[in-house]
Amino acid sequence: MAMRAGLIHSVFRPSSCISCLLLGEPRLSCATDTQRLIFQNALMIVGIVVMVGALIPWVFIPMVPLVIVFFLLRRYFLRTSRDIKRLEGTSEFRVCCILLR
């Protein structure tokens, strides 16, 4: 039962960013926590890739095309999401204009 209570608490507890916003702390501290977590995760991923590459060098052969495909898809997604947000903004503006008349 204690394990279930711990699980429920970890799922429903407010994140550090939300709690620091509720406590009135500046938003900068939240951004620093997020940036620190992103940096830690990036270092961990780089460490894993280096370790696997050192143990099995053949892993780097398929990794190069996969990284290239990943960055191409990322660039396409960012362009597409920017266009969708722009279209969404213009359509919301038109709806607001119609409703305000």
Single out the residue in 55, 75, 92 at which a domain terminates.
55
Predicted confidence (pLDDT) at residue 27 exceeds the cutoff of 70: no
Which residue matches tokens 């590459």? 53
Please report the pLDDT score of residue 74 as a whole number: 94
Is the model's pLDDT at 44 over the cut of 80?
yes
Question: How much is the average pLDDT of 49-64?
Answer: 89
Eight-state DSSP code of residue 24: T
Q: Phi and psi at residue 25, in whole multiples of 5°?
A: -75, 155
* Same domain flag for 64 and 17: no
Q: Domain total for the chain?
A: 2
Same structural domain for residues 72 and 45?
no
Read off the pLDDT of residues 65-95 as tens digits, 9 standing for 90 and up.
Answer: 999 999 999 999 999 999 888 888 777 777 6
15 pLDDT band (50/70/90 cuts)?
Answer: low
